Structure 1
Amino acid sequence: MDRQMISRIAHRHHPIAAPLSDEAVAALLARATSRADAGRALDLGCGEAGWLVRALAARPQWQAVGVDLDAQALTRARDAAEALGVVHRIGLHHQDASSFSSKQPFDLVLNIGATHVFGGLLPTLAAVRSHLAPGGQVLVGDGFWEREPGKAALEGLGVEREEYADLATTMDQVIADGWTPVHGHVSTLQEWDNYELSWTGSLAEWAVEYPGHPDAPAARAAADAHRTEWLHGYRGTFGFVTLLLRRTED
């Protein structure tokens, strides 16, 4: 059972692939698109394009482009866009986000929970600069250490200690890199718990619903492993922050 299929099933009840509530997503998008009635948004690693579809539904004069390697996720994104009547305002590209290029810059560039595509937070910010219009903004979401991680947290996440910093250091790094945080959201423990319960529950439920499917045992095993990694590993240790940024010198 490949990772893309696991992710699609795990996110079927939580299409925003990050620990944020619907209210937090709406508030961030409202702030990110409030500076202009019309604009262009780009999501590098969009998945099912949950952020873009919601933005377009709220802003009738905005257009959007989403890029992702998961073809089935993009199909779901198109279906969601059609259901909300915004499909004519979104372009979806099946390719590696790190190789995407466009002749026109964007007023808003998003990368939420997908900084691994570029090798981390600062490399992601370096990559989005070439896509950003003058005065444009970046909405980026990434992890940080709520507290010093132990062995169980590191093993559960499959990362090294140095891959993330605490929140203060993360903010300092972003500012030193030439960005000004103008808004943001730190995910709460409740948002994390809701996200992880949905992730593991959706996958386990699918295994129960389709017991004869050849991938059912793998789905159940993935749900059980992830639940253990979360509850006995990184819960309360690994945080998530979503920042709305502008270039300090623009």
Structure 2
Amino acid sequence: MDRQQISLLAHADHPVASPLDDDSVRRLLDHGLRPGAERVLDLGCGGGEWLLRALAAQPALKGEGVDVSEDALSRAREAAIKRGVHERLTLHRHDAADFDSPHAFDLVISSGATHAFGGLLPTLAAARTHLAPGGRVLIGDGFWERTPSPEAVEMLGDLMDLATTVERVVDAGWTPVHGHVSTRQELDAYEWSWTGSLAGWALDHRDDPDGAQALAAATAHRSGWLRVYRDCWGFVSLVLRRTAD
């Protein structure tokens, strides 16, 4: 069982692959999609939940999603058909970091996927290449709420505190026009769902060759969250415009 399959199972009950509740997602999309927006792109779209909600909210909008996981893209296609937005959705199996499109987009989304680009600033640099004049970027990434342990840094990477994170974004030529810091309830709900969905699948498939691995992955993730990073890790979502357009 590879990382992509584990992620799909873990997000079965929390299709937005970030620690955000439904109201937070709606508000972020409301701020990201200006009136008259025509196209939205999600880099690292996974199961496509951001795109599906955006398309449902604006009937004239067209969406494109990019991901390396065919299983995730298949799930997005099936969900788009069920929600009646499939004719306005185009999905690409491709590495998001070097994806190229003939279209410019009014909103570029990349939430919880900065690892695919090598960090927050490289993700923003990639998003910039797809952005239409006056367009916006909706990005979500982690930060340190408190000084982390060396183990937490090893587990989650070289993050910054919230103020430094935002300052680096501004220094890279972006202006925040909206933001949301995930609440403790959102963070805990996401982690409980992640570990619980994966563990539940493992217990329901005890005879599956991947069952033991899935249960071990859920157990390891839960332990890392509770013992290592729960009290120091946060998640910020930003809606950004280019400072010089």
Name the TM-score, length of structure 2 as normaliser.
Answer: 0.98
Q: Secondary structure at the match of 1:61?
A: coil
Within a 5 Å distance, the mapping from 1:117-156 to structure 2 comes to 117-155=116-154
Which whole-Å CA distance do the structure 1 matches of 2:68 and 2:168 have between them?
Answer: 29
Which whole-Å CA distance do the structure 2 matches of 1:38 and 1:222 have between them?
Answer: 40
Deviation at 1:37, TM superposition (A): 3.0
1:193 aligns with 2:192: no
Instruction: Pick one of 211, 214, 237 that aligns with 1:242.
Output: 237
Deviation at 1:38, TM superposition (A): 3.8
Which whole-Å CA distance do the structure 2 matches of 1:127 and 1:105 have between them?
Answer: 13
1:17 aligns with 2:20: no
What residue is the counterpart of 1:88 in the other structure?
Answer: 87
The residue type equivalent to 2:3 in the other structure is: R
> Which deviates more from structure 2 when the two are superposed, residues 146-155 or residues 67-76?
146-155
Within a 5 Å distance, the mapping from 1:35-46 to structure 2 comes to 35-46=34-45
Runs of 4+ residues deviating >6 angstroms: none
Contact 1:108 1:132 in 2 (8 A): yes
Which whole-Å CA distance do the structure 1 matches of 2:36 and 2:204 have between them?
Answer: 44
Q: Secondary structure at the match of 2:61?
A: strand
1:231 aligns with 2:226: yes
Contact 1:154 1:233 in 2 (8 A): no
Which whole-Å CA distance do the structure 2 matches of 1:178 and 1:158 have between them?
Answer: 26
Contact 2:43 2:67 in 1 (8 A): yes
Contact 1:110 1:139 in 2 (8 A): yes
Which whole-Å CA distance do the structure 2 matches of 1:81 and 1:179 have between them?
Answer: 32
The residue type equivalent to 2:8 in the other structure is: R
**Number of residue pairs the alignment of both structures matches:** 245
What residue is the counterpart of 2:172 in the other structure?
Answer: 177
What residue is the counterpart of 2:62 in the other structure?
Answer: 63
What is the CA RMSD across the aligned residues, in angstroms? 0.9
Contact 2:153 2:159 in 1 (8 A): no
What residue is the counterpart of 1:75 in the other structure?
Answer: 74
Which whole-Å CA distance do the structure 2 matches of 1:65 and 1:20 have between them?
Answer: 22
5+ unaligned residues in a row in structure 2: which ranges? none
Change in CA separation of 1:241 and 1:158 when aligned onto 2, cut-off 3 Å: closer
5+ unaligned residues in a row in structure 1: which ranges? none
Which whole-Å CA distance do the structure 2 matches of 1:26 and 1:128 have between them?
Answer: 21
Q: Deviations over 1:134-158 (max 9, x none)?
A: 0000000011100110134234x25
The residue type equivalent to 1:81 in the other structure is: A
The percentage of aligned residue pairs carrying the same residue is 58
Which whole-Å CA distance do the structure 2 matches of 1:104 and 1:202 have between them?
Answer: 37
The residue type equivalent to 1:124 in the other structure is: T
Contact 2:138 2:239 in 1 (8 A): yes
The residue type equivalent to 2:170 in the other structure is: I
Instruction: Pick one of 199, 202, 222 that aligns with 2:197.
Output: 202
Deviation at 1:104, TM superposition (A): 1.5
Contact 1:189 1:236 in 2 (8 A): no
